[in-house]
Amino acid sequence: MSDSTVASASSVPQPKFSKISEAVIRIAGNSQDGIQAIGGFLARLAGRSEQEVMTFMTIPSTISGGASIFQVRIGTGEVLSSGDDADVLLAFYQESYRNHLSSLRKGGIVLFDSDHVEPDPSKSSEFHHVGVPITSLTVEAIGGTARDKGKNIYALGLIARMFDLNLAKLEKLISERFAGKDESVTKNALSAFHAGYAYNVSGLVETFQFTDSSKRAGHQVVMNGNEALAYGLIAAGVRFGAGYPITPWSDIMELLRRELPKYGGMFIQCEDEIASISMAIGASYSGRVAVTGSSGPGISLKTEALGWAVMAEIPLIVVDVQRGGPSTGMPTNVEQSDLNIACFGGHGDSPRVVIAPSNVEDCFYVAIEAVNIARKYSVPVVLVTDQAIATRIEAFEEPDLKKLCQDLAPDLSPVQEFKPYDLQAPDGITRHLAPGTRIASGKYPIVTGLEHDELGHPTSSPKLHQQMTDKRRNKLKALAAEWTTPKVYGPPEGDVLLVGWGSSQGPLREAVEKARAAGDSYSSLHIRLLNPLPNGLEDIFAGYNHVFVVELNDQGLYGYGQLAGILRARYCDPKIRGINKSDGLTWKVKEILQRVKEQLTTLKQKN
Amino acid sequence: MINITNEFPPRLSTLKPAPILPESERKGLTKKETAADHPTWCPGCGDFSVLALYFKLIEKRAIWHEKITTVAGIGCSSRFPYFVQGHGVHFIHGRALPFATGLSLTRPDLHVFVFGGDGDAFSIGGNHLTHAARKNIKMTYVIMDNQVYGLTKKQTSPTSPLGFKSKTDMWGAIDHPINPVKQLVSAGATFIARTTSTNPKHVLEMMEAAMDHDGFSVIQCLSECVEFFEGAFDSANPRKGGAFTEVPADHDKTDEFAAYKLAAEPFPGKFGIHYQVQRETKNKLEADITGKAREKFKGLEDWQILQRNFDRMK
């Protein structure tokens, strides 16, 4: 760690460092302890140090109290997942110690607050135990009676010492974080941080230094998936949104409410989910693609209006930040169980586009793609993300905003004539014409949910219903043909192909790396465009003996998850099989590998 | 990284441009130019009159063709947009108001008209009526109240009077009907008027007043369903032995208690503006927020504003 500086004023003796390329740190406490803040500082520091970082958090679905964890994986190489096992566990309470010790690798370090944690002597041979009276030392450092306030920052100091993190950069981050608040807040935070840093943790435990980052020079930005998605929508030119509060979608709504006015736009909090989508469709109709969004239950409520947008061919973005379902389910846990509703939710044949980002960075780009698809094909696009991607923080290369930002101001210049549902249009692709546009012929369009003729007037003609149904379908087939076939991660031929979508791209790639290192012939394929499916997937599947679709949803009545079911229906290929789980947590790499091995063994026995 | 970029024409090449006409060269619309499909309503339906008066309003107020934006939900009366030659929207049941809100907030150059029935307004869309009213969204909402579900052939509606015999209340309606004016007063609507389709002059007068109101203007227009609730509004029709009584001249339109009291009168009650106050519209309040935010970033392009956020996340 060439650019790190050990505090010169510190009286702590120079410690010995072991060089490491990555570390997984799990911080366990309660939801109001500010452990997300520690994780946030570490993630941001990694971003500024050209390191890779990925975080993982769980929060209880209660306002205050309840166990919460934040896991940070920092590395100088490629970081694909938030890590299976922690190298360091920071435990604030007895239950954090008890519940999370099992997530620590054998020989890992458990750093605990000895004011609250009584370590289990039977575990002392398995893990390095380091007790620090964090609570009392924090009070000592910043004085006052503030109960536990600041102990998170104290603990950050301990971690900074343990990993020889860049002191100056962290100080700057802390000052930035509390900028705008009372000066004493920053002063207290820095005091707590320095006290933690000065604590002789290096006398108690091995300390580490990250090897130099080989990352290319250039700026990284650090944010979570919800932020990346919301900023992506702004870059794409979206200037109107409407929504209703629901976890974990609300962050996007709040961010857009705060940011859109700067761009001349607005975000409206509505009375309910149905009003939200209706208002967004109304704004889209007025000429500029608008956004609505929700999670689980809210998406169910939106489906009637979504079907209208399909029928009326109005562009629209619907964000679905998936959580555990059905019904209220597990609001703060991850699941990929909304794919079916995204693709098929609603009555009648209502083809729409479904697209899912593969990581935090992709949330930004997928938002732009979704907006362009919606406009180009005059169709609603359901942008499916999930709780894990929404809340996890990653560092990624700063996008070229000047190049990417789009202006979508509607064109209201007059036209000779206009048919909103022109059946002669190639591939069935027509575009919406904003109200306020003069049509010289004097024949004006109606957009409607009734089956209609080319001008939008109602019809019960069997021929027209068939033709219009074809039109709505064919334009999505044109999109499938335009879309680039996804690339396989790993060799194009082999024994096993792992197929995934959404937030599991990283763990799948890491699983491929591990399997290949162990001599197994694995590759993976990540599908971003889920409806319509891109062309050419069958050729990819042909290169492997087994295709396992790894999803965070139930195996269903017939043994396949939601994407696996769609792929089997589409390709009629019996070698497509599902690997599924519904525990509300992201995939661990070892879980994936173990489940594949199990399936392969079962298949061998059957043969 | 991005599969579908912005590099496609905003309009299809088949769309031929037309010249921009200076206003001086444009003429107001005649009924012939404003009428589209022949209405699907039953002969004798009250809705014909409302449609004819909408045409008259367009003609009288010289609304340009492209500025006519007519939105509706589902129901007999909600077929309205198909009969008007202008930009029209036939949305889903009960949700015309939120749709129109999205349109109104983003297009200050258009005056949005919403037409619908009592089912749309007070039953399936009841929640939206409350919130469009309290938010005071600039638009005009004409509720063609026939006190029955006509399109689905005679079920009880939220405004059906007690004792009304329908296919779902064969013994007579037992649920207390909604009083539209009371409902709207308590929700915070800023313009509430009552009229009846059998008095064309009054309908037009109310439409004009509603259009001129800066805010959420609602007209409850009694509109008889001759098929399923014949004679429902005879008591308001002098030609059928009833009485058309206007709101008394001394009624204080700005007094919500007076409006409430007036609305409590036995059917058919009084006709005219029951309540009208000036309150800032959401359109204006949102525009103020936007204006203030824009002021801070004057001279910056959108990407530069976004860049500032990204710089803070480094």
Candidates A221, A265, A414; nearest CB to B314: A221
- The residue among A41, A262, A448 with the most chain B CBs within 10 A of its CB, best to mutate, is A262
- Contact status, residue A432 vs residue A447, Cβ threshold 8 Å: yes
Q: How far, rounded to the nearest angstrom, does the alpha carbon of residue B94 sit from its chain's CA centroid?
A: 12
List CB contacts (< 8 A) between A47 and chain B. 313-314
In angstroms, the CA B290 to CA A257 distance is 11
Contact B88 A443 (CB under 8 A): no
List CB contacts (< 8 A) between B20 and chain A. 413-414
Contact B99 A285 (CB under 8 A): yes
Please name which of A393, A319, A314 lies closest in space to residue A71, comparing C-alpha atoms.
A393
Interface residue B82 vs chain A (CB under 8 A): yes
Domains of chain A, start order = 17-218 (3.40.920.10), 222-404 (3.40.50.970), 426-482 (no CATH), 488-606 (3.40.50.920)
Contact B99 A278 (CB under 8 A): yes
- Contact status, residue B71 vs residue B112, Cβ threshold 8 Å: yes
Lookup: tokens for A394: 């990653």
Q: For the sheet with A86-91, list strands across it.
A: A128-132, A104-113, A86-91, A22-30, A67-75, A52-58, A393-397, A220-224
In Å, how far is A464's CA from the nearest CA of chain B? 18
3-class state of residue A38 by DSSP: helix
Domains of chain B, start order = 29-279 (3.40.50.970), 281-314 (no CATH)
pLDDT in tens, chain B (314 residues): 689 999 898 889 899 999 998 888 888 899 999 999 999 999 999 999 999 999 999 999 999 999 999 999 999 999 999 999 999 999 999 999 999 999 999 999 998 999 999 999 999 999 999 999 999 999 999 999 999 999 999 999 999 999 999 999 999 999 999 999 999 999 999 999 999 999 999 999 999 999 999 999 999 999 999 999 999 999 999 999 999 999 999 999 999 999 999 999 999 999 999 999 999 999 999 999 999 999 999 999 999 999 999 999 98
Predicted pLDDT at A62: 66
Lookup: tokens for A252: 């996007």
Cis peptide before A492 (omega within 30 of 0): no
Instruction: Give, as one character, the DSSP assignment of residue A598.
Output: H
- Contact status, residue A238 vs residue A317, Cβ threshold 8 Å: yes
Select the more confidently predicted residue: A22 or B182.
Answer: B182
In angstroms, the CA B143 to CA A485 distance is 52
Lowest-confidence range among A247-251, A366-370, B24-28? B24-28
Interface residue A281 vs chain B (CB under 8 A): yes
Candidates B82, B107, B130; nearest CB to A446: B82
Interface residue A347 vs chain B (CB under 8 A): no
Pairing of strands A104-113, A86-91: parallel
Query: Which residues does A422 contact at the CB level (< 8 Å), separation at least 6?
Result: A430, A454, B14
Q: Where are the beta strands (DSSP E) in chain B?
A: 69-72, 87-90, 112-117, 139-145, 148-149, 155-156, 191-196, 216-222, 272-276
List CB contacts (< 8 A) between B103 and chain A. 282-283, 285-286, 435
Q: What secondary structure, in 3-state letters, does B102-141 show?
A: HHHHHCCCCCEEEEEEHHHHHHHCHHHHHHHHHHCCCEEE
In angstroms, the CA B67 to CA B61 distance is 12
pLDDT by residue (tens digit) across B63-106?
999 999 999 999 999 999 999 999 999 999 999 999 999 999 99
Split at pLDDT 50, 70, 90, the class of A280 is very high
Interface residue A280 vs chain B (CB under 8 A): yes
Cα–Cα distances in angstroms (integers) from residue A414 to residues B22, B28, B84, in the given order: 12, 17, 19
Candidates A279, A401, A457; nearest CB to B307: A401
Instruction: Identify the closest residue of chain A to B106 by CA–CA distance.
Output: A283
ipTM given for this complex: 0.98
In Å, how far is B200's CA from the nearest CA of chain A? 27
For chain B, counts of helices (H) and of strands (E): 10, 9
In Å, how far is B244's CA from the nearest CA of chain A? 36
- Kind and range of the H or E run holding A134: helix A134-142
pLDDT over 90, % of chain A: 80
In Å, how far is B250's CA from the nearest CA of chain A? 37
Residues 268-287 of B with CB under 8 A from A: 286
pLDDT by residue (tens digit) across A527-575?
999 999 999 999 999 999 999 999 999 999 999 999 999 999 999 999 9
Interface residue B302 vs chain A (CB under 8 A): yes
pTM of the model: 0.95
